[in-house]
Amino acid sequence: MNALEGLLHGLESAITPTNLLWLIVGCLLGTLVGILPGLGPPATIAILLPLATGFNPATGLIMMAGIYYGAKYGGSTTSILLNIPGESSSVVTCIDGYEMAKQGRAGKALGIAAIGSFVAGTLGVIGLTFLAPLAADVAVNFGPPEYSALMVFALLLVIMLAGDSMLKGFIAMFIGLFLSTIGTDLFSGAQRFTGDQIELAGGIEFIALSVGIFAVGEVLINIEDKTEKQLFKVPSKMRELLPSRQDIKKSTPAMLQGGIVGFLIGILPGAGSTVASFVSYIIAKKMSKTPEEFGKGSIEGVAAPEAANNSETGGAMVPLLTMGIPGSGTGAVLLGALVLYGLNPGPLLFHEHADVVWPIIASMYLGNIALLVMNLPMVPFFAKLLNTPYKVLYPAILLISVVGVYSVNFSIFDVGMLVVFGLLGYVMRKLDIPPAPLVLAFVLGPIAENAIRQSLLLSNNSPIIYLQRPISATLIGLAVVLLVVLAFGRGRKVREQVVEIDA
Amino acid sequence: MEHEIARRTSDSGADAAEELEAEPSPADDRDHEREARLTRRVHVVLGLVIAALGAWLLYKSRTELEFRGANNEPGPGYLPVLLTICLIGLGLALSAVWLWGPQARSGEAPTLSLSVRGIGRALLVWLALAVCAFLIEPLGFLVAGEVLVLLVIVVIERIRSIPLIITLVLLPPAMYFLFDTLLEVQLPGGTLWY
């Protein structure tokens, strides 16, 4: 059975009234649960898994696809409205999404996130349908040196989110990398900087760190000025609550590149969607006719990471279905669900269980459509939430943050970490230190460290290994070029400013 | 420049007033100078604090963790040592840039907004959150949540509007119902009661 035949067969099996009903229910539940901070797609799927396992494999997995897409969209809703990233991949969406919300353009941001998710999610699934075997071959060639080089490249890209001061961006990045080393060293079992706290043995909880730095830090900045008014303006006209034709036209290149980048990076197991979202953000900024708007509420700055975040799903399904390698937390939960249904992901899955695999892929198409049809009408409702006076909204944000962080591990210690990182987030903002490089470096740190140490183990501590393999050599070369561009580009900008001042 | 001045003097009264508003007065200049000095001092101290923190962490990494493993492979202290060295360098670089950099010395660098009143208000809210986090274990989410809300109503915002007070007081039970009852995410009930 070729890809097209398989897909048509899958669509035929998936489009039954029962499957469609559960797909819509899954999408709705996923959005509603995913909107709660701390409950990203993996947690949402895990919570709702018992509901889906009551059905036959095809229906259950179709419902889970709906939950997954819904949860992803729910995560971007809190990022845009409240600056609370539900998971690491939503961090980049916060940058421009929240700025848009502050400018009274939350509806447009949410709308473009839904449209971008649909366009790129569809691209990702098309990629999965036709390129899965080829992409799987490339992914197999990615060993520790290639991952090390990719992470070095990705960490240098993080600096591009640094804002005006590259020095402060590097400081934030190194603090994030250092925080990621806290916990048990996976190679030796040694405890690093845990202070004999058993709760730190597994490392600092990402949700506590990200919600503290982004949400609590932002609340503390916002309440500095006592104001009787609501913090954000929300337009009253329905037309102004949704993206205009011009907004969609402006965001289309960002959506398409986000879709392609997201799929390609999603194939690589690891922090796929996080890397995908900010690589596509950087590319969108470089390609944009108005790069100066990025970081200040650019609609392309929402479209690109959201698109990448969604098409990554299609990419992440490639190693999951063809090799049984889950690329992320969500992938691990989905793998568990597949095993629960008696399916063993691997090269033979497409041959032995074509009756289940193709309906799953088909359901991803349908999930994308259901997401757009259901969530676009809900955008004005979500945006209107910002009409709430801020003195009511901020205690709610603080309490939701506490519940969200607590619900991840049922740990009071994590709530304490939330408080600590909330203060850190506030101090960083006051001192004009960008928080995004810290949070992204924290996510990429463990992957980078593992890959670097594995590579050095393989090569008897010789760094030449990075140059001996074509993919890693190319990536290292790109990283060097990027570093030169960063250094000299900034230097030139500073020099230009000095010349202007002198003149 | 002369042309610019001539244009300004020929403007209408209202426009001239606006221009005057836009033009920095000597008092504004003094404020800006003070802010620039403060920003410079804060950055120099910040750089030194980061460098000192880096040095302390480097000391801990070197003394508590092995830099190399048994077969000379990178040990658990490998990355922390490299990272802390970088942090020391970056901290010192930050101090140096703000101490001797041309932009910082000429006062052209962007200033930080460090109003004591604003920082005090933010720290008060942070303290309320810290109290709530501290009370969650012994008193449970509901009571700790109500303590946070009451601190906001009575101490921080001094809210008098009855509908707002009712909304805020109902927040913790609403969240408890949503998470604990509907989603079955067990929230702490309080060790003091159970």
How much is the pLDDT for A498?
A: 34
Q: Same structural domain for residues B172 and B132? A: yes
How much is the pLDDT for A332?
A: 65
Chain A residues inside the 8 Å CB shell of B126 = 216, 220, 419, 422-423, 426
Question: Which DSSP string do the residues of A228-292 spell out, in sequence order?
Answer: SS-SS---SSHHHHS--HHHHHHHHHHHHHHHHHHHHHHTSSSSHHHHHHHHHHHHHHHH-S-GG
Q: Which residue of A has its CA nearest to B50?
A: A171
How much is the pLDDT for B9?
A: 37
* Residues whose CB is less than 8 angstroms from the CB of residue A491 and which lie 6 or more positions away in sequence, other chains included: none
Q: Would you say residue B140 lies in a domain? A: yes
Q: Same structural domain for residues B40 and B96? A: yes
Q: Same structural domain for residues B89 and B42? A: yes
Per residue in A395-422, pLDDT (tens digit) is 988 998 888 888 878 899 999 999 999 9
How much is the pLDDT for A155?
A: 79
Backbone angles phi, psi at B183, to 5 degrees: -95, -5
B132 has pLDDT over 90: yes
Domain tally, chain B: 2
Backbone angles phi, psi at B74, to 5 degrees: -60, 130
Identify the residue with better confidence: B71 or A237: B71
Q: Would you say residue B194 lies in a domain? A: no
Instruction: Point out the domain boundary residue: B60, B81, B107.
Output: B107
Does residue B179 belong to the interface with chain A, where contact is any CB pair within 8 Å?
A: yes
Q: Would you say residue B2 lies in a domain? A: no
CB B47 within 8 A of CB B93: yes
How much is the pLDDT for A51?
A: 66
Question: Which DSSP string do the residues of A21-85 spell out, in sequence order?
Answer: HHHHHHHHHHHHHHTSTT--HHHHHHHHHHHHTTS-HHHHHHHHHHHHHHHHHHHHHHHHHHS--
Q: Same structural domain for residues B101 and B127? A: no
Shortest CA gap B168–chain A (Å): 6
Q: How many Cβ atoms from other residues are within 10 Å of residue A498's Cβ?
A: 14
What element of type H or E holds A192? strand A191-192
How much is the pLDDT for B82?
A: 94
Its domain, for residue B75, covers 33-107
Smallest Cβ–Cβ distance between A224 and the set B43, B84, B118 belongs to B118
At position A34, the amino acid (one-letter code) is G
Q: Would you say residue B157 lies in a domain? A: yes
B141 has pLDDT over 80: yes
> What's the token pair of residue A17?
């009234």
d(CA B15, CA A169): 42
Q: Which residue of B has its CA nearest to A423?
A: B126
Q: Would you say residue B18 lies in a domain? A: no
Q: Would you say residue B88 lies in a domain? A: yes
How much is the pLDDT for B23?
A: 59
Q: In 3-state terms, what secondary structure has residue A191?
A: strand
Per residue in A77-102, pLDDT (tens digit) is 878 887 777 666 778 888 888 888 88
Identify the residue with better confidence: B87 or B180: B87
pLDDT band at B3 (very low <50, low <70, confident <90, very high): very low
How much is the pLDDT for A502?
A: 34
Q: Same structural domain for residues B102 and B129? A: no
B65 has pLDDT over 70: yes
Q: Which residue of B has its CA nearest to A446?
A: B79
At position A246, the amino acid (one-letter code) is Q
Which A residues in the span 10-69 are in contact with B, Cβ-Cβ below 8 Å? 33, 36, 47
How much is the pLDDT for A46?
A: 66
Q: Same structural domain for residues B123 and B102? A: no
At position A413, the amino acid (one-letter code) is F
Q: Same structural domain for residues B93 and B122? A: no
d(CA A158, CA A171): 12
Q: Where are the beta strands (DSSP E) in A144-230?
A: 183-184, 191-192
How much is the pLDDT for A346?
A: 64
Per residue in A287-343, pLDDT (tens digit) is 888 888 888 888 999 999 888 888 887 787 777 777 666 666 666 667 777 777 777
pLDDT < 70: residue spans in chain A: 1-3, 33, 36-44, 46-54, 86-88, 132-140, 160-164, 226-241, 269-272, 323-333, 344-348, 350-351, 383-386, 486-503
* Percent share of chain B, pLDDT over 70: 84
B4 has pLDDT over 60: no
Instruction: Give the largest CA-CA distance in chain B.
Output: 82
Q: In 3-state terms, what secondary structure has residue A122?
A: helix
Does residue B59 belong to the interface with chain A, where contact is any CB pair within 8 Å?
A: no
Chain A residues inside the 8 Å CB shell of B148 = 395, 398-399
Q: Same structural domain for residues B86 and B125? A: no
Q: Would you say residue B25 lies in a domain? A: no
d(CA A366, CA B90): 50
Tokens 């041309």 belong to which residue? B102
Q: Would you say residue B163 lies in a domain? A: yes
| Helical pair A166-181 and B78-100, crossing angle rounded to 10 deg | 160
Instruction: Point out the domain boundary residue: B107, B139, B172.
Output: B107
Q: What was the ipTM of the complex prediction?
A: 0.84
Question: Which DSSP string do the residues of A445-486 spell out, in sequence order?
Answer: HHHHHHHHHHHHHHTTT-TTHHHHSHHHHHHHHHHHHHHHHH
Helix%, strand%, coil% for chain B, nearest 5: 75, 0, 25
Q: Same structural domain for residues B125 and B95? A: no
Q: Same structural domain for residues B152 and B94? A: no
How much is the pLDDT for A326?
A: 64
Does residue A407 belong to the interface with chain B, where contact is any CB pair within 8 Å?
A: yes
